[in-house]
Amino acid sequence: MSHNTFGKNLKFTSFGESHGTTIGCVLDGFPPGMPITAEEIKGELVRRATGRSKHTSQRREKDDVQIVSGVFNGRTTGHPIALIIENTDAKSKDYTDIAKQIRPGHGDYSYWKKYGIRDYRGGGRSSARETTMRVAAGALAKKWLQQHYDITITAWLSQLGAIKLAAGDLSKIDDSPFFTGELTRVPELEDYMQKLRKSGDSVGASISAQAVNVPAGWGEPVYGKLDAELALAMMSINATKGVEIGAGFDSVAQAGSVHRDEIIAGEFQSNHAGGILAGISTGQNITLKVAFKPTSSLRLPAQSIDEDNQAITIITKGRHDPCVGIRAAPIVEAMMALVLMDHCLRHQAQTLSDRKPY
């Protein structure tokens, strides 16, 4: 399996499967000298973890991260940073009955056709368990961006099924199991999820995110566009089906006189572009939205085939999220941080960013 690495100057590679013994990653190109501890990384992993509430999968992993290289005396060395986490709560027996069955809506069919073999235990490499390492690496990138540029990255739930949510108080999103700043609407969301869980069905969600204090000038004008690489990073997250930058699809109905972000006295009057023009950051907040599909692991029967191409009726048992998007906010933040830091390092390498303009 190729293409397990992304980034140019900051390269992230992950490895491991949902029910394997270990998952891990290597972060290459990270600058030296930044203090970091396993406890700091664990803080971000706790935000992403399953089992935090009754609204997510009840798989409960310890997620005790081990820093096995690239850090000495509590500081990054500039060498590749390797992180590993042991899987401690995988229940492979939950998948024995469907070992040869193709679950509709999953990667079973496409993996089977591509490789001729697949890990049926929780989806193997296609499981959202892989995103744990993205969040671990993203913890380092978020800290570096904050320390060097005062950049803060925040993602929140902006829609759950048909329920649309405002940003609300973004300082409160970690006080809710839904990553919403509208804390007064949590009972409504709780009731919605309770009914959904009883029905045995699932639902999609959207996550909005913003990066504040990103300097102007990061990104490339053609094949390394900042918005294109942010979209690529978001589309690589499990269950993603759509990405919007700035006004996104709403820009279709906007007049050009409205969509263009006028500049008066050196200040942008709006931000329909989402902080990026021609693939390069403008200095405004970078904003995006990610759409996540409903999970396909359901106890409701569905028609499919097995590996002998025989028609079957399949029911998926085990511990699954009725809405995978609920805990995607930390993953979106991590991927945004990794892309922005990579582009920062590219910018520094090409432009000697501390020099004065010609």
Q: What is the sign of the dihedral through the CA atoms of 44, 181, 53 and 120?
A: negative
How many domains does the chain divide into?
1
Residue 358 lies in a domain: no
Residue 357 lies in a domain: no
Residue 133 lies in a domain: yes
User: How far is it, in rounded angstroms, from Cα 99 to Cα 122?
Assistant: 10
Question: Which of 276, 272, 293, 259 shows the shortest CA–CA distance to 339?
Answer: 276
User: How far is it, in rounded angstroms, from Cα 10 to Cα 137?
Assistant: 11
Residue 287 lies in a domain: yes
pLDDT tens sequence for the chain (358 residues): 578 999 999 999 999 988 888 999 999 999 999 999 999 999 999 998 755 556 665 556 678 999 999 999 999 999 999 999 998 866 656 667 778 898 888 888 998 899 888 888 767 788 888 999 999 999 999 999 999 999 999 999 999 999 999 999 999 999 998 999 999 999 999 999 999 988 989 999 999 999 999 999 999 999 999 999 999 999 999 999 999 999 999 999 999 999 999 999 999 999 999 999 999 999 999 999 999 999 888 888 999 999 999 999 988 876 677 888 998 999 999 999 999 999 999 999 988 755 544 4
Question: Which pLDDT score, from 0 to 100, does residue 164 have?
Answer: 97
Question: Which pLDDT score, from 0 to 100, does residue 27 have?
Answer: 98
The CATH number linked to 202 is: 3.60.150.10
Residue 40 lies in a domain: yes
Residue 101 to residues 118, 119, 124, 299, Cα–Cα distance (Å): 11, 12, 15, 14
Tokens 């949510």 belong to 165
Helices of type H across the chain: 38-48, 108-115, 131-149, 186-199, 226-235, 256-259, 329-351
Count other Cβ atoms within 10 Å, centred on residue 293.
17
User: How far is it, in rounded angstroms, from Cα 347 to Cα 260?
Assistant: 26
Residue 9 DSSP code:
S
Q: What angle do CA 142, 146, 147 make, to 5 degrees?
A: 120
CB 28 within 8 A of CB 83: no
Q: What angle do CA 41, 44, 47 make, to 5 degrees?
A: 150
Residue 281 lies in a domain: yes
Residue 356 lies in a domain: no
Q: DSSP secondary structure string, 163-230?
A: EE---B-GGGGGGSTT--B-GGGHHHHHHHHHHHHHHT----EEEEEEEESPPTT-B-SSTT-HHHHH
Question: Which pLDDT score, from 0 to 100, does residue 54 have?
Answer: 63
Which pair of structure tokens corresponds to residue 31? 């600058």
Residue 66 lies in a domain: yes
Q: What angle do CA 166, 168, 173 make, to 5 degrees?
A: 110
Residue 341 CA to its chain's centroid (Å): 15
User: How far is it, in rounded angstroms, from Cα 306 to Cα 326?
Assistant: 31
User: How far is it, in rounded angstroms, from Cα 335 to Cα 137?
Assistant: 9
- What's the domain range around 237? 5-351
User: How far is it, in rounded angstroms, from Cα 125 to Cα 119?
Assistant: 8
